[in-house]
Amino acid sequence: MTSIAKPQIPLLPLERNQLGLTIRDYAGSMSTLCAGCGHDSVTAAIQEALWGLSIPPYQVAKLSGIGCSSKTPQYFDSEAVGFNSVHGRMAAVASGAAAANRDLVVVGVSGDGDSLSIGLGNLAHAIRRNVRMLYVIANNGVYGLTKGQFSASADIGSRSRKGEPNLMPPVDPMLLGLSLGATFLARGFSGDKAQLVPILRAGLSHGGFALVDVISPCVQFNDHEGSTKSFRYVREHELQDIDADIIPVRGQIHSEQTPGSVTEVELHDGSRVLFRAVPEGYDPRDRVRVGSYLVESARRGEIATGLLYLDETTPDMHQLSATTQDRLWDLPFERLCPGSTELARFQARLR
């Protein structure tokens, strides 16, 4: 997950999780992204979140589409089986994987072009289906691999490196998700791992589709003066309004919360999420108020980060479909095939 070769022997003894694994056991290959790319920090945060939750590395299914961000599944959890699919279709492919095996920990990594332009339809409907998965958008407002075209999340007035302004309104995945009935919406900043890791852990523990929008500046094509997705812009305009941390039932792993205006929400797996709502009374379960809050902060040019919306009551894809608790992919054939006697009976009405 880094751009430089990692030393084989750790200098300090590394902390172990409940499986006795260190963060290195969740590592992937060396990143081939540009030095300083925000996406590498996203990768590191995903790695830390998986480690922190003591998820067996091989139980993860990593998926992505096409683009810089979609290269990142190679850079974490090399024990997992992954699928770098085609542009814009990861949400659909992930839906299928989740359908076939409901025990998988499905992690999808995508970008703003992959998710909000070419793949907008597939993302929207994966949200509607409430597929249980963590879906990360590493959002930099720009097409990196083709060298700097605006993406659908570029803000109005944001300037490309050549100086042209973007004139079209951005697609905000959080507002989009809210309107589609998303059940988990969070936004982080690749430069703020302390906030991002807990968000990702909460997303991994969520019982449905967890959409995490991570502002992840592109050091090559969108980190200049005039860009609204640059490190500097985000640092200056980020609103850390809603902190979240996850406290798995097995015990507290990480919590730097200062008690105050705290809302506690229990996730499907029994773990709890705490929100520190800076605007008095911010309730991430109040869809109407979350919506107006997001619109207002966007109008002020501010980026609201944190766990923005949560609904743990809506059934996920498998619940909606009343699927068996067993994994579909390896159900015994005897349970699936009605057999010759039944075939004869079926055809009685066709005679």
Partner 1 sequence: MAEVQLPEAPSRARVNEFAIKLANVNGTGSASTNNLLMQTIFRMGVPVSGKNLFPSNIQGLPTWYEVRVSQSGHTARTASFDLMVAMNGQTYQQDIGEVASGGYLVYDDSWPLDSEMRRPDITFLGAPLAQLCAQRFGTVKERILMKNVATAGLVAALLALPVDELSKQLVAAYSRRPQLLEDNQAALQLGYQYALENFPCPLPFHVEQMGAPDGRILIDGNTAVALGAVYAGATVGAWYPITPATSVMENFIRLCAQYRRHPGPDGREVNDYLILQAEDELAALGIVVGASWAGARAFTSTSGPGLSLMQELLGLAYYTEVPAVLVDVQRAGPSTGMPTRVQQADLLSAAFASHGDTRHILLFPSDPRECFLHTVKAFDLAERFQTPVLVMSDLDIGMNDWEVPELTWDDSYRPDRGRLLSPEELERLERFWRYGDPDPEWTTPRAVPGETPRAGHLVRGSGHDLRAVYTERPDEYQEVVDRLLRKHRAAAQHLPPPVVEMHEGAPFGVITMGSCDLAVREALEQLPGPAPSYLRVTGYPFPAAVAEFVAAHPHCYVVEQNRDGQLRSLLLIETGFGGERLRPVLSYGGLPITASFIRDRILEQESPK
Single-letter amino acid code for the residue at 9: I
Closest approach of Cβ 252 to partner 1, in Å? 28
Part of the chain binding partner 1 (CB under 8 A), chosen from 50-58, 145-153, 244-252, 293-301: 50-58
Kindly compute the dihedral angle of the four CA atoms of residues 35, 40, 41, 44, in this order, to the nearest 10 degrees: -130
Closest approach of Cβ 107 to partner 1, in Å? 11
Binding mask 309-328 for partner 1 (x = CB under 8 A): --------xx--xxxxxx-x
Q: Count other Cβ atoms within 10 Å, centred on residue 268.
A: 13
Single-letter amino acid code for the residue at 77: D
Given CA atoms 144, 150, 152, 154 in this order, what sign does their dihedral have? positive
CA 255 from centre of chain: 21
Closest approach of Cβ 285 to partner 1, in Å? 27
Q: Does 180 bind partner 1 (CB under 8 A)?
A: no
- Closer by beta carbon to partner 1, 225 or else 330: 330
Spell out a b/e string for 73-93, using b for 16 or more CB atoms within 10 Å of the CB, else e: bbbbbbebebebbebbbbbbb
Q: Does 57 bind partner 1 (CB under 8 A)?
A: yes
Q: Does 3 bind partner 1 (CB under 8 A)?
A: no
CA 79 from centre of chain: 20
Q: Does 350 bind partner 1 (CB under 8 A)?
A: yes
Of 70-129, binders to partner 1 (CB under 8 A) are: 73-74, 77-86, 88-89, 91-101, 103-104, 121-122, 124-125, 129
C-alpha separations of 36 from 4, 40, 135, 187 in Å: 11, 8, 23, 20
Q: Does 254 bind partner 1 (CB under 8 A)?
A: no
Single-letter amino acid code for the residue at 155: D
- Closer by beta carbon to partner 1, 60 or else 212: 60
- Closer by beta carbon to partner 1, 32 or else 313: 32
Q: Does 13 bind partner 1 (CB under 8 A)?
A: no
Q: Count other Cβ atoms within 10 Å, centred on residue 100.
A: 13
- The binding site for partner 1 (CB under 8 A) comprises 56-63, 66, 73-74, 77-86, 88-89, 91-101, 103-104, 121-122, 124-125, 129, 317-318, 321-326, 328-331, 333, 335-340, 342-344, 346-347, 350-351
